[in-house]
Amino acid sequence: MLLSGWGRFPRADCRVLRPANAAAVPDVLAGQGAAIARGMGRSYGDSALNPAAVIDMRGLSRLLAFDPETGLLEAEAGVVLGDIIAVFLPRGWFPPVTPGTRFVTLGGMIAADVHGKNHHGAGSIGSHIAWLDLLGADGEVRRCSPTENAELFTLTIGGMGLTGMILRCALRLMPVASGWIRQTQIAAPDLDAALAVFEANMASPYSVAWIDCLATGKALGRSLITLGDHAAPDDLPAERRAQPFAVPARRRLSVPIDAPGWALNGISVKAFNALYHARGLSALGERLVSWDSYFYPLDAVLHWNRIYGRQGFAQFQCVLPLATSRAGLQALLEAISAAGTGSFLAVLKRMGPQESALSFPMEGYTLALDFPARARPLALLERLDRIVLDHGGRFYLAKDSRMKADVLHASDPRAAAFRERREALGLVRHFSSLQSERLGL
């Protein structure tokens, strides 16, 4: 079966096995060579591709237990985040961390150790996982937690599925008082102003910026920063207070076919960015938005990955340490605007501190970009890799589809340590992806 990640680049013909539930996974895995688990296929590159065996975990879709006192939810690893929100938001609970789409599985979130707009305060998803059940190459299922099989637990969070198959997990949900977000939008005319807004708003639970990466000169780094917090019923208009979790259904759009390759070019991207900026300026200040439009604006456009056409696109997400963020971001933005191949969506975000085995986040600033998978933009990405290395930054594996192994290892000494532990634990032969082979993980 021809599979790809969300970026639709690269593609690979993979043998796919689909266990019906958690209990069936050991039998399916037994006798396989190397395999990789796959959930909703929302990592962008080749993290969940393996021609020999892809284990489609979406059959592991059961909620197992919920404690309304503590918010602890136990579930199979193929449960989709959007289902959790649909079931538990009406009861006053929300995921403590969410990526930019709700079409992800719990297992996928753990494997990529995803972060959200609240990373500076809440950390990544891994810090909200109480335990996980991990199927090893030996067919044993081990309960892993900070106190039990602690090393496997640490390696598995952010371990890109390379430590075993996550079968079940327990996630601590967060109590919320409504389905609405109090959003504040702030315009920053340049990079310094954008960073100042982030630093001044560390107490805001959510913060993220859209950054115009085609702006040059004095406008380099001009941004729209969006802050947010869960609204209390008192924040809502009177007519909504009786049902604080009900939000109006959003219109669903869909990109029905691949856009032709010329549809996204320098001119259309520049026009889009200018338009987006102008629209953002008209919406400055505070207002209420529903949870889905705040957290998942792109989920409303099904198959939005088709706008890049058949050849697909490459995501690029790096994080720079706090001390070098200013200089590194300037260098990245200058390289991008000089190349003229702007990113359709460029996102800037302040991250908080984090200790982990292979997870992406570190304290500093993360920049996420996407580019069509064509020769010129891909060459630009190699230049961006160098800038990130020069500034002591690193790369998000869930977004990566094209990085060279030496770049990864130069950026992150943890990669070699992770590989060494995989070898010592006998995992390399049993769990691998095209990405892990490309990067030597």
| Residues contributing to the site for other proteins (CB under 8 A) | 20-23, 61-66, 76, 83, 87
Q: Give residue 271's Cα distance to chain centre.
A: 26
> In the complex, what is the shortest distance from the CB of residue 28 to other proteins, in angstroms, rounded to a whole number?
13
> In the complex, what is the shortest distance from the CB of residue 384 to other proteins, in angstroms, rounded to a whole number?
44
Residue 87 or 288: the one with the smaller Cβ distance to other proteins is 87
Residue 65 or 278: the one with the smaller Cβ distance to other proteins is 65
Residue 21 or 265: the one with the smaller Cβ distance to other proteins is 21
> In the complex, what is the shortest distance from the CB of residue 63 to other proteins, in angstroms, rounded to a whole number?
4
Q: Which of 347, 288, 268, 343 is nearest to 313 (CA)?
A: 343
Please check whether residue 147 is in contact with residue 130, taking contact to mean a CB–CB distance below 8 angstroms.
Answer: no
Residue 17 or 301: the one with the smaller Cβ distance to other proteins is 17
H runs (alpha helix) in 340-427: 375-390, 405-411, 414-424
| Residues linked to residue 56 through DSSP beta bridges, in sequence order | 38
Please count the helices (runs of H) and the strands (runs of E) in the chain: 13, 22
Q: What is the dihedral of CA 336, 338, 342, 345, to 10 degrees?
A: 40
> In the complex, what is the shortest distance from the CB of residue 242 to other proteins, in angstroms, rounded to a whole number?
20
Residue 73 or 319: the one with the smaller Cβ distance to other proteins is 73
> In the complex, what is the shortest distance from the CB of residue 424 to other proteins, in angstroms, rounded to a whole number?
33
Distance CA 176, CA 96 (A): 10
> In the complex, what is the shortest distance from the CB of residue 165 to other proteins, in angstroms, rounded to a whole number?
16
Residue 132 or 403: the one with the smaller Cβ distance to other proteins is 132
Please check whether residue 1 is in contact with residue 9, taking contact to mean a CB–CB distance below 8 angstroms.
Answer: no
Name the residue with tokens 């059959």. 59
> In the complex, what is the shortest distance from the CB of residue 22 to other proteins, in angstroms, rounded to a whole number?
7
Residue 83 or 229: the one with the smaller Cβ distance to other proteins is 83
Residue 23 or 253: the one with the smaller Cβ distance to other proteins is 23
> In the complex, what is the shortest distance from the CB of residue 59 to other proteins, in angstroms, rounded to a whole number?
10
Structural element, H or E, at residue 211: strand 206-211
Residue 2 or 65: the one with the smaller Cβ distance to other proteins is 65
Q: Tally Cβ neighbours within 10 Å of residue 304.
A: 18
Look up residue 311 and give its two tokens: 């050849």
Burial class (CB in 10 A: 0-12, 13-18, 19+), 193: middle
Burial class (CB in 10 A: 0-12, 13-18, 19+), 279: exposed
Q: Which of 395, 393, 391, 392 is nearest to 404 (CA)?
A: 395
Structural element, H or E, at residue 197: helix 191-200
> In the complex, what is the shortest distance from the CB of residue 83 to other proteins, in angstroms, rounded to a whole number?
8
